[in-house]
Amino acid sequence: MRGGVAIVGGVGHAKFGRRTDATLGELAWEAVKEALEDARLDQKDIQYFVVGNAGGWSAESLPAVIVGEYCGLNPRGGAMRVEAACASGSAALYNAYLAVASGMADIAMAIGVEKMYESPTPTVVEFIGRAGNYFWEFENFGLTFPGYYALYMTAYMNRFGATEEDFCKVAVKNHYYGSMNPKAQFYGLRITVDQCLKSRYVAWPIKLYDSSPITDGAAAVILASEELARKITDTPVWIRSVGVATGTANLSKRPDFIGLDAAYQAAEQAFKRVGIEHRDTWKYFDVADVHDCFTIAEVMAYEDLGFVERGMGIQLVRSEQTYKGGLIPVNLDGGLKAKGHPIGGLRALVWLLR
């Protein structure tokens, strides 16, 4: 492995939402163009690129080829599409990081793009359901992703005394910040706890306002080797550490429903490489963007990442410690909840870098 890998100011972001005005390639180009301009680079400078795309609902089954052609990216180092369900965008970034860290490329681009609105809602629900154990859970029992997280929310409520109102406060926070984000799907829309509590149930106790929306969106990030990074920008953002882990597809094989073990293990890896203990980690970070496909997911992430002990995440919500100025501000872009959740999108990192 060579020296450090940095994000060289090259970040781009398309508007999230129902983007019937743009094809997959056009949507990706909005992010790619912005990233290239941000880094003051040209398409020919990109030696390798990776597209994160979960797919299934989009007409394009070979998105890397389509994106590369439309965006004028034709590197000799090649390109590929990666999929890791809701972590597809992160997987693209990880793959691009490895390409630069290994010396296979000096400059690489990670692109996350998804066009979910090309399919009707029942089709999208089915394909998201396929991200679990499709034949056992979806076909036999009709378990959808809201149903998955409803199991987690009921377990958490039973174990730690959390209430539906507590989780609605997460939604209120994320809509508050999303309302100020012009790239967010729900830009300008704030909600109250009462509105959330009165929204219809999707899978009890998860309600509509506990849930992230179907979204079209794209984002892009440019990575460079240590030598080139210092030539491209005076303010490179160094990637200090990365952790990756995988859980079971079948929920019946998981030991409990109050946290995501894969998230905990990935965090453990990342922290260990930079000498951070997996407890009181809020001391080391100024802000965090975490996965919040449903409000329970955000609360579990507080604990999986070690910001607080297990069962104490809901206390952060009640005391508003995840707002700006609190113990650990979380999802200041609006999160998946209000910014939108294009499954393969690279939304979190790009917004933090801005």
Mean pLDDT of all residues in 66-94: 94
Residue 135 has pLDDT above 80, yes or no: no
Q: Is 291 a residue of the active site?
A: no
Per-residue pLDDT, 353: 53
Q: Are strands 48-52 and 107-115 parallel, antiparallel or unpaired?
A: parallel
Range of lowest pLDDT (118-127, 137-146, 223-232, 280-289): 137-146
Q: What mean pLDDT comes out for the span 62-76?
A: 94
Least confident among 81-95, 124-138, 163-177: 124-138
Give, to the nearest 10 degrees, the angle between helix 295-304 and helix 261-273: 40
What DSSP designation does 207 have? E
* Contact indicator for 146, 76 with CB cutoff of 8 Å: no
pTM: 0.94
Q: Look at the domain 5-120+214-240+342-353 and name its fold.
A: Peroxisomal Thiolase; Chain A, domain 1 (3.40.47)
Residue 351: is its pLDDT beyond 60?
A: no
Indicate which residue of 13, 175, 291, 341 is catalytic: 341
* Closest residue by Cα to residue 82 from 103, 104, 67: 67
- Say whether pLDDT at 72 is over 90: yes
* Whether the predicted pLDDT of 127 surpasses 90: no
Locate 256 and state its tokens: 């409990």
196 is catalytic: no
Report the chain's mean pLDDT, rounded to a whole number.
Answer: 93
- Number of Cβ atoms within 10 Å of the Cβ of 33: 16
Task: Record the tokens describing residue 245, joined without a space.
Answer: 């882990």
Which entry of 86, 168, 196, 293 is annotated as an active-site residue?
A: 86
Q: What's the burial of 237, exposed, middle or buried (CB within 10 Å: 0-12/13-18/19+)?
A: middle
Check residues 75 and 340 and name the one with the higher pLDDT. Answer: 340
Summarised one tens digit per residue, pLDDT across range 139-178 is 667 788 899 999 999 999 999 999 999 999 999 999 999 9
Per-residue pLDDT, averaged over 224-231, amounts to: 96
pLDDT at 1 over 80: no
Using the predicted structure, report yes or no on whether residue 50 has a pLDDT greater than 60: yes
- DSSP letters, 2-41, are -S-EEEEEEEEEPPPB--TTS-HHHHHHHHHHHHHHHHT-
